[in-house]
Amino acid sequence: MAEIHELSAVGLRDALSSGKLSAREAAEHFLARIQARNPGLGAFITVTAEQARADAARADALYARSRHSRSPGELPLLHGMPVAFKDLTDVAGVVTTHGSAALDQKPAPVDGALAAVLKRAGVVSLGKTQVPEFGLTAYSENLIAPPSRNPHALSRSSGGSSGGSAAAVAAGLVPFAPGSDGGGSIRIPAAACGLLGLKPGRGLVPAGESTGDPARLVVAGPLARSAEDAALMLDALVSAPESPESPESAQAAASAATDPGTSGHKALPGGGRYLAAVSRPPRQLRIGVSLDSPWQAIFPFTPDAEAMDALDTGIRLLEAAGHFTAEAAVRYDNRYPDAFTTAWTAGVGSARIAPQREALLTPLTRTFRRRAQQRSVSKLNEALGFLRQFERDTIAQYAHWDLVLMPALAQTPRPVGWFTGSSHGDGYWPASEWAGDADGDYRKQCEYAPWSSMVNVCGLPAISIPVHWTGGSPGAGLPMGIQLVGPMGSEALLLQVAAQIGY
């Protein structure tokens, strides 16, 4: 058998469920890799080795009971699978730092929704991964721990806000990982680290954690090395859904149940409808290609040549698979940047932070917190109303196509410290030494990832696929990706397309 970390997530799951590998063997292997590689990578903030060993032992005991019982029950879908949770997600008994030095560091009393669902599916948590403060930025650097670095070039960022999780998967410290995405936080680090990242549609899976989300932007989804691995995690995330919180959530759940890519087919052994769907090719699709962005009016940008190379590669792969591509002109309302920023930063304004500890916030967080607190409720409500209209208008334009294609990022993965203007190349130093240009930092992020946040506003599924490497071959140079956006309920279709073109 290959080295444990070289197995796909599906392959590792099969080895664990068949008894070829014990949960303790898997946990010890990945814990050893974390110990060896994390000091230079910064992917993990907290490693919960003893708890992982205890959980793995319980998983092995469950396997033994199942094997020897006269009426054995089924093992959970992700029996014994090692994972890590980003440090915005509550895991019972473990401190949730939210990437902030301004918060009291107390263990979470109970699991959050995401951790609870995956623990019921059988995972063994190895710890908590690096995030930006409150998940606000497209890079995972903060004041409490070393920055998360890109395994393909340690001088580069792994992206954010699921940057630590993406770095851990790309470096083989875990086989796959859940992330949360409120403005690109799965897709950005997936693209930066050469992974596949899926943002499900609104309401399909338990919401990712955030400090407040009045626009309902945040959703949880998988970071993985292949469409098959991502499908396995998505099956676990939707296997025990919460009661729908709204008609929109119910609609999303119904859409998933009737998705033409998943309905009417039996699930594969050890999997579910998404894993079953990935093995079948999608129908021929009409794919619109767009470079339009709702940020370009306020922050004009020109995509790097490497971003256009990735887009060209994506078009070539899709057309070779039999799909039709053509330019799609999308018109976005110029009021979007202000409205999105108002909604995106509302939660940090209401975060419970003692006045004497506000100096421990990063300059960007401190600036946006102050502005959020000065903003009236009517201003926030106006922004939320606009975003709902923006959602309707944008979905109507996307509906002319089966999928909409664009680069995942407009630039190559950025150097560590680049967004904050640091010359240290290291985000881990006192707040007084961070550059204070919050608006310059924010502008850089919007120019780096100009095609991400509007997908969250629309609540649509989207996938980032690593189709190009700047060195010319997989693993050479820096990864660059494409993003495909689909209509509600198209998660299986997006995974099918990714698998069809080789990912």
pLDDT of 253 above 80: no
DSSP run (H or E) holding 494:
helix 491-500
Residue found by looking up tokens 């506003």 in the block: 457
pLDDT of 304 above 60: yes
φ, ψ dihedrals at 149, nearest 5°: -110, 160
Cβ contact 78:122 at 8 Å: yes
Closest CA to 447 of 307, 254, 279: 307
CA 112 to chain centre: 17
Give the model's pLDDT for residue 266.
39
8-state DSSP, 6: G
pLDDT in tens, 167-204: 999 999 999 999 999 999 999 999 999 999 999 999 99
- Read off the pTM: 0.94
Average pLDDT value for residue range 282-297 = 98
CA 37-428-27 angle, to 5 degrees, is 30
Cβ contact 296:450 at 8 Å: yes
Amino acid at 333: D
Closest CA to 23 of 127, 148, 124: 124
Amino acid at 114: L
Cβ contact 364:441 at 8 Å: yes
Average pLDDT value for residue range 392-421 = 97
CA distance 314 to 484: 10
Q: What domains can be seen in the chain, in order of their start residue?
A: 4-500 (3.90.1300.10)
pLDDT of 246 above 80: no
- % pLDDT > 90, the chain: 85
Q: Can you tell me whether residue 293 is helix, strand or coil?
A: coil
Cβ contact 83:177 at 8 Å: yes
pLDDT of 425 above 70: no
- % pLDDT > 70, the chain: 89
- Per-residue pLDDT band for 250 (boundaries 50, 70, 90) equals very low
CA 346 to chain centre: 21
Residues recognised as catalytic: 86, 161, 185
Cβ contact 474:172 at 8 Å: no
Q: Which of 62-66, 101-105, 405-409 has the highest mean pLDDT?
A: 405-409
326 strand-pairing partners: 288
Close Cβ partners of 381 (under 8 Å, ≥ 6 residues apart): none
pLDDT in tens, 369-382: 999 999 999 999 99
Residue found by looking up tokens 């290291």 in the block: 426
Reported as half-sphere exposure (CB side, CA atoms, 13 A), residue 140 has a value of: 40
pLDDT in tens, 445-463: 999 999 999 999 999 999 9
Burial class (CB in 10 A: 0-12, 13-18, 19+), 352: exposed
**What CA dihedral angle connects 502, 480, 191 and 47, to 10 degrees?**
100
Q: Take residue 45 and report the two structure tokens written for it.
A: 């903030």
**What CA dihedral angle connects 90, 94, 96 and 101, to 10 degrees?**
180
Q: Can you tell me whether residue 481 is helix, strand or coil?
A: strand
Q: State the chain's mean pLDDT as an integer.
A: 92
Cβ contact 170:33 at 8 Å: no
pLDDT in tens, 468-499: 999 988 888 999 999 999 999 999 999 999 99
DSSP string covering 342-359 = HHHTHHHHHS---GGGGG
DSSP run (H or E) holding 126:
strand 124-129
Give the model's pLDDT for residue 239.
75
